[in-house]
Amino acid sequence: MNEQSLGENIRTIREKAQLTLTLVAEAAGITKSTMSKIEKGRISSPISTLMRIAEALNVTLADLFAEPGGTKPYCLTRSGEGKTILRDGNKFGYAYESLMSGGGGKAAQAFVLTIHPDDPQGSFSHEGEEFIYMLSGKLVFTIAGEAMELEAGDSLHFESHHRHTTKALGSEPARFVCVFIHHPRRDGVT
C-alpha cells in the first residue's frame, strides 16, 4: 500500500467518525499540518506515528492498511506476496513488508522489517506491545536504556510505550518479523 492509499484510508476513517483533523492530530501528538500531509499521501510516517493516529481514531493499525473489498475472517499472504506498505521515508528508511495484507480489523499487524547498516538509528514509543523474531543479520535493540544484541533465532516481546531504538550491526541488513499488538482504547475520542 502506498502513502496515497494509506492517507485516503485515514481520512475516510476520520470522516466516518466525524472527527476533525485538528482533534485527531492533537490526540496523536502531531501538528495539524503533518496530519494533513499524511492524509494527502505527501509524507511517509513511521509506524509509531501511525499507531498513535490509529489510537486517536480508536481503530487498530491494521484498519489503517485495510484493502478495499470487505474484511474476511482470515488473512492469507503467500510467500513473496507481502506488500511493502511503507518506508519510514527519509527519516529512517526502514522497509516494512506486510505479512497480513488485507487483514483489517485485527488487533495485531505483522511485518518483515529490513534495516540496513547505513540506515539511521530509529527511536520509537507508542502504545501496545511488540514481538520481534530475528530472521537474519544483527541488530542492537535498546529498551528503556538497556541495549541488547539480537541475531537470527532470537525473539523479544515488550510493552512498546517504553522508548525503544533499533540499529543494524555489521555489514548485512537486519531482517526480522515484527508484530505490533494494538490495545484498543476503551474511552474513544469525542
Is there a single domain that holds both residue 171 and residue 89? yes
Is there a single domain that holds both residue 50 and residue 115? no
In a domain, 70, yes or no: no
For helices 3-16 and 47-57, angle between their N-to-C axes, nearest 10 degrees: 20
- Region 80-107 average pLDDT: 60
CB 189 within 8 Å of CB 58: yes
The parent domain of residue 47 ranges over 3-64
Percent of the chain whose pLDDT exceeds 90: 41
CB atoms within 10 A of CB 74: 7
> How much is the pTM?
0.67
Is there a single domain that holds both residue 88 and residue 145? yes
Number of domains present in the structure of the chain: 2
What tens digit of pLDDT does each residue of 162-184 get?
Answer: 999 999 999 999 999 989 887 76
What tens digit of pLDDT does each residue of 116-155 get?
Answer: 999 888 888 888 899 999 999 999 999 988 999 999 999 9
List the grid coordinates of 99. Answer: 505479512
